[in-house]
DNA sequence: AATGAATGAGCGTTCATTCAT
DNA sequence: AATGAATGAACGCTCATTCAT
């Protein structure tokens, strides 16, 4: 173990971070393993020491991104009680994550085109998990009487759909320096809350 | 000249329809020109008689899909007057289009990953056109006093975002045979309309 | 037979003339049959009515060029008696032909790279015919006592070699408007004649 | 590292040697990269590790051939003083080079047909360099009073032209085993020298 | 473990040739 | 006879993957 190891961190992680940068810019088929290796500052062969194929690296990268997002979300949600607050937090945390990790965001948001059965299954699964998480949040709010009784799935679509739209503005729009300062986000939340009262 | 010519139409169209099928299943980089030719039942070289490159074929296909969708939408919108009706129609027409043309839908919906400057520009342009079309519909409704004064862009995000979410369910969910029978769509519209009253 | 036939001449000839233009600019492999057809203002399929393949067209074109050159040379040589005059005429006629038919010239001069066994054989044959023609001219001059007894083949190499060099200057050099006005040609002939006296 | 590495040298050289063999037999357009790779006993992709395109390989090969010829010529010319000796050496060295490297010779001699602007420029440049080298040799001989005052360019054409003719006999004529034993070469030199006295 | 030179399957594209009209 | 739309074999080049070091 030399001094470099401390600096460079675990190679596996370096490769995943590089994969995020390259896959998000070029898409799955457009990205070259060699470029990922260069960005990660490792040899091309080294990528294959940690991941058995390009596809495997892509799948592991998707898992890593979702995990990172969920960790942040979980941390921020502690102590939040009312539905409106939760919704606010959900938008805020998500948009901030997107803003800070634009590259990852492109992968989270993008309906990446069919790459392969395995990839599609994983991405679909992750989407469904999110829908069901939001649905549960809504169901809980209904039980608490915070909002009127509505189809929780419909609300989940509404919330996730508009969040994705606003989010893609944040990611693609380079003119906006600060993500939260835009009233757009608040306006969207307002309309949703009014519709649910 | 045999009976087939009448059915199949000219080769150019056959190739575009084949491109929709293949690009939507495999994405731009994953699709092979040879497979498109096979699906279109033409020789590989024939593709290049009508399109100067794979990229050109992709662009022309995107234009074709959007045109087809807009033609249908324009026809259905004739005589629709109130905002609620327009919104209803917008959801209905879009979801029906998605259901009937699932393959095209995957291309309309998918945030195709960066393929190339030209492709990106075209896709971004088409998205912005849709946002501004919906925004105008909202502005008009505000002027008519049908809905309260809100940020039209926020509403556009809400509408297009949730429509995309519901739409992706329609496209990906194979369990649902009938698209319109689900109350999901109605529930989403209801919440939006309530939020705008 | 319509008026066009008189103007356009025989299609076969039009195609050969087009072949000269295109093959000389692009070489055998670089030339496209379609381009030759366009230049000849006939359909692509028509080329195959007159020539059974691209290679066949090339061979026929080479024969045509040599025949044309030989016809001109034969005509000009009538009545020329002394060796010096013959040499002068040979240079003059050849350089004038090259100047007037630069495109053909490129094919006559160029050691076209190996295209195919048949093509090579034909071109080699034509070269040998030229060497033997010049050799005979030299032998005759020796018999007449016009020049000292030398190896006729050596003289032929000298004459044809330097003629090819001067000729390539004529063809490639665009600065020279008039081919014959250059003293270069005279200087070369002078040195050769002195060497043979 | 096995014994072969020492013999075969680095792969780059193996590929250039293979390129000489294949390009000289088939010409630029007729040669296939795959065949060059096979002859070099490397994978097809390996060619592209060392040369960025087929055209690049061709250009590098031309440079390599000229360099090799010039190296040999420079070495042999040391100590040669009189013009006649120089001319003798020039013929001898060139014909020997052609005989020993028939494949390279075909490329040195052949007026390769237009391949591409870059290729043409390089080949034309190399030809002009040769003409000017011979011209200088002649000028020097005139200054020394070894030969009578003549147009140096005319002499250069004469020398290079007849050398090319004799050379092409050497390369194409398979019947002659020994190049130098033919009196042809001596006869040509004799005539030239007599013409210059 | 780490590397990158080497590989060859695979793809986009071209173009000589055919054939229905 | 004349055509040009259609074809598919063939080629230049790329890049995921392997393997000797």
| Residue D31 within a domain | yes
D86 and D55 within one domain: no
pLDDT tens per residue across span D133-176: 999 999 999 999 999 999 998 999 899 999 988 888 777 765 45
For nucleotide E10, the protein residue with its alpha carbon nearest to C1' is B32
D47 and D82 within one domain: no
Inform me whether the C-beta atom of residue C110 falls under 8 Å from chain D C-beta atoms. yes
Q: Which residues of chain C lie closer than 8 angstroms to D27, CB-CB? A: 27-29, 112-115
D142 and D58 within one domain: no
114-143 of C, contacting D, C-beta below 8 A: 114-115, 124
At residue B34, the pLDDT reads 96
Using left for φ > 0, alpha for ψ between -120 and 50, and beta otherwise, residue C46 falls in: alpha
pLDDT above 50 (res C177): no
| Residue A71 within a domain | no
- Tens-digit pLDDT string for chain B (197 aa): 343 443 445 899 999 999 999 988 888 888 999 999 999 999 999 999 999 999 999 999 989 998 999 999 888 888 878 899 999 999 999 999 888 888 777 776 666 666 677 777 887 788 888 889 899 999 999 999 999 999 998 999 899 999 988 888 777 765 454 544 568 889 999 999 999 88
Strand F: which positions are within 7 A of a protein CB? 1-21
B111 and B176 within one domain: yes
> What count of other Cβ atoms lies within 10 Å of the Cβ of residue D47?
23
C174 and C111 within one domain: yes
Distance B115 CA to E7 C1' (A): 27
C58 and C88 within one domain: no
Mean pLDDT of all residues in A114-137: 83
| Residue D157 within a domain | yes
C81 and C59 within one domain: no
D46 touches strand E (CB under 7 A): yes
Cβ atoms D191, D87 nearer than 8 A: no
B134 and B173 within one domain: yes
For chain A, state the CA radius of gyration: 19
Domain that holds residue C183: 77-197
Q: What is the CATH number of the domain that holds D174?
A: 1.10.357.10
Quick one: which H or E segment has residue A181? none
Count of domains observed in chain B: 2
C102 and C19 within one domain: no
Cβ atoms A20, A65 nearer than 8 A: yes
Mean pLDDT of all residues in D91-119: 78
pLDDT above 70 (res D31): yes
| Cα A150 to Cα B184: distance, rounded to the nearest angstrom | 10
| Residue A72 within a domain | no
| Cα A58 to Cα D11: distance, rounded to the nearest angstrom | 35
Cβ atoms A86, A189 nearer than 8 A: no
Mean pLDDT of all residues in C27-47: 93
Cβ atoms D119, D59 nearer than 8 A: yes
B49 and B95 within one domain: no
pLDDT tens per residue across span B80-123: 788 999 999 999 999 998 888 887 777 766 666 666 777 778 87
D81 and D60 within one domain: no
Which residue in chain A is spatially nearest to B191 when comparing CA positions? Answer: A195
Q: Answer with the one of B18, B34, B64 that is the final residue of a domain.
A: B64
Three-state secondary structure call for residue B64? helix
A83 and A56 within one domain: no
């Amino acid at each position: 173990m030399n001094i470099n190891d401390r600096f460079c961190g675990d190679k596996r992680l370096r490769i995943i971070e590089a994969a995020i940068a390259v896959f998000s810019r070029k898409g799955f088929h457009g990205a070259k393993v060699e470029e990922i290796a260069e960005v990660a500052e490792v040899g091309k062969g080294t990528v294959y020491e940690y991941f058995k194929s390009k596809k495997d690296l892509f799948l592991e990268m998707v898992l890593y991104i979702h995990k990172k997002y969920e960790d942040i979300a979980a941390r921020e949600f502690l102590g939040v009680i009312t539905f409106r607050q939760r919704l606010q937090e959900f938008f805020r945390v998500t948009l901030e994550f997107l803003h800070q990790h634009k590259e990852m965001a492109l992968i989270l948001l993008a309906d990446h085109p069919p790459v392969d059965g395995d990839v599609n299954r994983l991405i679909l699964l992750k989407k469904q998990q999110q829908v069901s998480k939001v649905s549960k949040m809504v169901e809980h709010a209904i039980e608490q009487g915070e909002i009127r009784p509505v189809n929780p799935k419909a609300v989940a679509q509404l919330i996730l759909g508009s969040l994705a739209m606003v989010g893609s503005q944040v990611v693609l729009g380079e003119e906006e320096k600060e993500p939260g300062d835009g009233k757009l986000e608040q306006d969207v939340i307002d309309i949703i809350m009014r519709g649910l009262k």
